[in-house]
Amino acid sequence: SSSSMTLLRLLLIERWHTSPVFARRRELEPFSALAPGEGVLVLHELPGMIRRDYAVAMDLGTVWFQHTGLPFVFLVWAARQDVLSLDQLRLLNQQLHHAAKASRELAVEYAAYYGTSPELAAEFVGGNRRYYLDYFLLEGMSEFLSRAQNLDLLPQTVHDTARAGLLSRAPVRPRRRVA
C-alpha cells in the first residue's frame, strides 16, 4: 500500500538514517530476486504469514510505535458530512462491525497454518484494527502526515477531523487516550 511504502521510507530516513533506492516489482515470489543488502516490503494480514517461510525483520506498525509511541493508521475511510444518509451510515456501521467479527474468526481459524497462536492472531486482527478514530489514533495519523510532509514524502496538505458522530451526527470532541 502507499501508506506502507511511505511509512517505510520515513522510518528508513528517521530511524536508520538511510535512503535506499526503491523498485516496485510485481513478482509472486519477491524474495527469489533479492541480492545481498536488498529487502522487500510485504503486506500481511496475520503474524506468521510471511515469517513462516522467510525471515522477516520487523512489522512496520510496531516499529512506528516504538519510534514515536503512537499508533499508525494504515487506512481511513472518510466522507464529507451529509454525503451519506442516516440509513446508509447505519448500514456502514453494521457492516464494519460484521467485518471486524469475521476478521477475528478467520484469524483464529488460520492461526495454526501461519504458525501463530489463535490468541495472538485474534489480538493482531481484533486488537490492532479499529473502525473509528479516537484521539490517540488521530494523533498518530497527524504525526505521520507531519513527518512525511517535512521529509517531502507527501505533499503539503491540510487535514481535518470529524466534527460529528457517525450515527448521532452530534458534535464530537477529541477524547484523550487514558494510559
pTM of the predicted structure, to 2 decimals: 0.72
Classify the C-alpha dihedral 89-90-91-97 as positive or negative: positive
Question: What are 44-63's pLDDT values in tens digits?
Answer: 655 555 555 555 567 788 88
Of 84, 102, 66, 177, whose CA–CA distance to 132 is shortest?
177
Task: At 46, give phi and psi (nearest 5°).
Answer: -135, 150
State the angle between helix axes of 2-14 and 60-68 in degrees (0 to 180), rounded to the nearest 10.
Answer: 50
Question: What are 81-98's pLDDT values in tens digits?
Answer: 778 888 888 888 888 878
Of 149, 154, 140, whose CA–CA distance to 75 is shortest?
140
Number of C-alpha atoms within 13 angstroms, CB side, residue 110?
A: 15
Classify the C-alpha dihedral 21-26-30-32 as positive or negative: negative
